[in-house]
Amino acid sequence: MRIEENFSLEKWNTFRLPVSTRWFMEYADEEELQKILRDEYFQENRSIHIGSGSNLLFLNDFNGIVLHSAIRGMEVVEETETDVILRVGAAEVWDDVVAYAVSAGWGGIENLSHIPGEAGAAAIQNIGAYGREIQEVIVAVEAWNQLTAEKRVFTPEECRYAYRHSFFKDEHNDPYIITYIVIRLTKAPQTFCLNYGLLQKELEGKALSPQRIREAVIGIRASKLPDPEVVGNAGSYFMNPVVSAIDFEKIKASYPELPSYPAADGRVKLSAGWLIEQCGFKGKRYGSVGVYEKQALVLVNFGEASGNDIAVLAESIRNAVRNKFGVELMPEVKYVG
């Protein structure tokens, strides 16, 4: 077990905020995790479990315990003629999982290439990109209840997946720590998801394979998203808002070019990036913070920003979108403070 006091989190959040935590604890296996959960000091103090911090906004130093898993590894636990079932340690880098699957020719997660973060968080966030979400391949999620220190294996239904949402994200649920995820991949995939316009265009007329799709996705992502190693950011800051069909028609009457996508229950998903762009924020810089020039959904730290500076910009964007369109933007990024 690794325990550090007054530990810098600068490398543990992709906004690259120079915050620190009173304690940083990293467990190597489930036994060590159980020990931490049963510890009186842990139970009495504030804590947060992090992955690689690519979806977090620290508003200040964390006066408590930051937990991190060091459980890695990928193991084929079942194989049929058509599928493999892969069990993955929560601390495995998600993109390494995708690269491993793709190199074996297995399909199902190639569209989710190059999404930063760890496998455990991917299952919590229900990560998605280019028409795919991780929930489509989840077979089970292995988790520990932080209050009872007991293990539970969740079925996909119990994970209650929705757009960028799961059971684990509901604050009122008992807090769970993910230690392993189990996913199903297709050994010789014949069908691929090319719903996204740019991806379709990129692959037009080409023979498809998980590898080719991965390469195309990586190329598109590199052209549209800033690299956190170069400029601090957390990807999409807001979720795409989902509105009723009636509200959609009302907004569309004033803005006929409004992009939209069908959502569950006859509702309509709008593009948060487009709404923000219409409010004039794209490419604007306000001191140390700003809105990325190629994607209005991404807020960036130019180097000296505090978490509060970023939160203030986010709030003015929310206000502007609310005033112009009557639409409420909700942060995808989790605030820690």
Ligand X SMILES: Cc1cc2nc3c(=O)[nH]c(=O)nc-3n(C[C@H](O)[C@H](O)[C@H](O)COP(=O)(O)OP(=O)(O)OC[C@H]3O[C@@H](n4cnc5c(N)ncnc54)[C@H](O)[C@@H]3O)c2cc1C
Report, as residue numbers or ranges, the catalytic residues.
164, 236, 332
Q: Which residue has the tokens 């989840």?
A: 138
Could you give the CA distance from residue 105 to residue 93 in angstroms, rounded to a whole number?
A: 19
* Beta bridge mates, 238: 331
Please report how close the Cβ of residue 238 comes to ligand X at its closest, in angstroms: 12
For 99, other C-beta atoms within 10 Å of its C-beta total 17
Please report how close the Cβ of residue 233 comes to ligand X at its closest, in angstroms: 6
Choice between 47 and 278, CB closer to ligand X? 47
Choice between 84 and 177, CB closer to ligand X? 177
Please report how close the Cβ of residue 192 comes to ligand X at its closest, in angstroms: 17
The two three-digit tokens of residue 35, written as one number: 């020990």
Sites of contact with ligand X (CB under 6 A): 14, 48-56, 69, 90, 115-118, 120-122, 124-125, 127-129, 177-178, 225, 228, 233-235, 334
Please report how close the Cβ of residue 250 comes to ligand X at its closest, in angstroms: 29
Please report how close the Cβ of residue 187 comes to ligand X at its closest, in angstroms: 25
Q: Which residue has the tokens 């058509």?
A: 82
Choice between 180 and 248, CB closer to ligand X? 180
Could you give the CA distance from residue 295 to residue 274 in angstroms, rounded to a whole number?
A: 9
Judging by DSSP bridges, how do beta strands 285-286 and 289-291 pair with one another? antiparallel
CA triple 335-45-10, angle to 5 deg: 45
Choice between 185 and 300, CB closer to ligand X? 300
Choice between 251 and 336, CB closer to ligand X? 336
Could you give the CA distance from residue 5 to residue 329 in angstroms, rounded to a whole number?
A: 37
Kindly give, in sequence order, each residue whose CB lies less than 8 Å from that of residue 62, ignoring residues fewer than 6 positions away.
9, 19, 20, 21, 22, 46, 48, 336
The two three-digit tokens of residue 285, written as one number: 């810089």
Q: Using an 8 Å Cβ cutoff, are 134 and 126 in contact? A: yes
